[in-house]
A and B are shown apart, each in its own frame.
Chain A
Amino acid sequence: MGREVAESCVDGVIMEMVSAYCNRFYSSKPELAARRIEAIGFQVGHQLSERYTMERPRFSDHLEAIKFICKDFWSELFKKQIDNLKTNHRGTFVLQDNQFRWLTHISIDASPDNVEASQQDSSSPTSNNAAQFTSMHLYFPCGIIRGALTNLGIPCAVSADISNLPACSFVVRIKA
């Protein structure tokens, strides 16, 4: 294992970056904020996958590359592997992490108060805000995965599904 820093450093800069883009720079244009956050993730994923594959032979097919993301790449980032991988064999892969670390950390901050508030107030704008805040956070890991795969020669689109919190599924659609 090389150099390490406290996990709270990474959590802190990601949380601040998301909040700066959503609340300060593009507060009235969430889709622009999302694109910037995704771009930052893309850059990180691209560079990390370059570093982690330096001494490897090229992957023979898409599945091999996706498996690398699920195992080695995910372990470097989160000290665990992706828990479940599914594919329709037509270029769509679903990578599920049953306890996605970045979500369990931020949801502590973002949701509990807001969920309660929404029960009292049926119009629930706060709960929408919490959901939006969570989804804004997901653009970063989606960008990381897209950047990593793009670096491996696989152009794709990546989205996230959090209908089963704290599990998080990343849906990778490879572009033909």
Chain B
Amino acid sequence: MAPLAPRTGDAVFANVERVNAELFTLTYGAIVRQLLTDLEEVEEVNKQLDQMGYNIGVRLIDEFLAKSGVSSCVDFRETADVIAKVGFKMFLGVTASVTNWDAEGTSCSLVLDDNPLVDFVELPDTCQGLYYCNILSGVIRGALEMVSMKTEVTWIRDMLHGDDAYELRVKLLKQVPEEYPYKDDE
């Protein structure tokens, strides 16, 4: 398959400032743990993680566009591929695969086999309703909103709950067309 982006995920990741993943993983783990203590309700923790992710996504999109050299995607299919192959790689150092497209091409799954957020993590029984990685869905939603795509992002599979992979369902709800000074060929 021809590369979809001007730079591959590997090339972009090799050029960003990187840090030891343990610091990231343990920091995120400590945050989730403290939130569970302070907010008490697992539902509320899910909500706050999503909100934190959203705020991060809103900021990360600029860095992503600047460093990846990605410009407008022709359709949502290309957008999903870019997130999976360049976005995930550039920030987390892993790639996702894109599967399970619906007929309209507006909803698909991002599947992660490897996820640095969960190294060293085991959920106690009291946290069964927790979407530990909910920050990720927030990041995707926030970043896409900045490029005019309203999405809904939900967890389908979660290895911390015994599934065989992490699967995020990304559904395009509404696309606000960007205005160009010219009209695409017709």
Q: Which residues from chain A sit less than 8 Å from chain B, CB to CB?
A: 1-10, 12-17, 19-20, 24-25, 36, 39-41, 43-44, 47-48, 51, 76-77, 79
- A47 in contact with B26 (CB, 8 Å): yes
B135 in the interface (beta carbon within 8 A): yes
Which range holds the interface residue count of chain B?
Answer: 20 to 34
Residues on A with beta carbons closer than 8 Å to the beta carbon of B52 = 13, 16-17, 20
B166 in the interface (beta carbon within 8 A): no
On whether A3 and B31 interact (CB within 8 A), knowing A10-B24, A17-B52, A48-B22, the answer reads no
On whether A2 and B26 interact (CB within 8 A), knowing A8-B91, A12-B60, the answer reads no
- B23 in contact with A6 (CB, 8 Å): no
The answer for the CA separation of A6 and B26 in the assembled complex, in Å, is 15
Residues on A with beta carbons closer than 8 Å to the beta carbon of B28 = 13
Q: Name the contact of B19 in the complex, choosing from A4, A40, A41, A48 (C-beta under 8 A).
A: A4
Residues on A with beta carbons closer than 8 Å to the beta carbon of B13 = 6
- A10 in contact with B27 (CB, 8 Å): yes
Q: Name the contact of B93 in the complex, choosing from A4, A12, A47 (C-beta under 8 A).
A: A4
- B56 in contact with A40 (CB, 8 Å): no
The A/B interface has a contact count, at CB < 8 Å, of: 102
The answer for the CA separation of A25 and B48 in the assembled complex, in Å, is 10
Q: Name the contact of A43 in the complex, choosing from B21, B30, B56, B92 (C-beta under 8 A).
A: B30
Residues on A with beta carbons closer than 8 Å to the beta carbon of B51 = 20
On whether A7 and B27 interact (CB within 8 A), knowing A16-B56, A20-B52, the answer reads no
- B92 in contact with A13 (CB, 8 Å): no
Q: Nearest residue in B to A20 (C-beta to C-beta)?
A: B52
- A6 in contact with B27 (CB, 8 Å): no
B63 in the interface (beta carbon within 8 A): yes
- B116 in contact with A16 (CB, 8 Å): no
Q: Nearest residue in A to B56 (C-beta to C-beta)?
A: A12
Q: Which residues from chain B sit less than 8 Å from chain A, CB to CB?
A: 13, 16-24, 26-28, 30-31, 33-34, 38-39, 48, 51-52, 55-56, 59-60, 63, 90-93, 116, 119, 135
- B60 in contact with A10 (CB, 8 Å): no
The answer for the CA separation of A9 and B25 in the assembled complex, in Å, is 10
- B59 in contact with A2 (CB, 8 Å): no
Given contacts A13-B56, A17-B31, A48-B22, 14 further A-B contacts (CB under 8 A): A3-B21, A5-B19, A5-B21, A6-B17, A8-B17, A8-B63, A9-B24, A14-B27, A20-B51, A40-B27, A40-B30, A41-B30, A43-B30, A48-B26
**B146–chain A nearest beta-carbon distance, Å:** 14
Name, among B21, B24, B91, the residue most crowded by chain A CB atoms within 10 Å (CB to CB).
Answer: B24
The answer for the CA separation of A24 and B55 in the assembled complex, in Å, is 13
Q: Nearest residue in A to B54 (C-beta to C-beta)?
A: A16
- A13 in contact with B16 (CB, 8 Å): no
Q: Name the contact of B59 in the complex, choosing from A12, A25, A36, A48 (C-beta under 8 A).
A: A12
Residues on A with beta carbons closer than 8 Å to the beta carbon of B24 = 5, 9-10, 13
On whether A40 and B20 interact (CB within 8 A), knowing A8-B91, A13-B52, A20-B48, the answer reads no
On whether A7 and B22 interact (CB within 8 A), knowing A13-B28, A16-B55, A16-B56, the answer reads no
Q: Nearest residue in B to A76 (C-beta to C-beta)?
A: B20
The answer for the CA separation of A119 and B146 in the assembled complex, in Å, is 33
On whether A43 and B59 interact (CB within 8 A), knowing A3-B116, A77-B23, the answer reads no
The answer for the CA separation of A8 and B135 in the assembled complex, in Å, is 14
- A44 in contact with B55 (CB, 8 Å): no
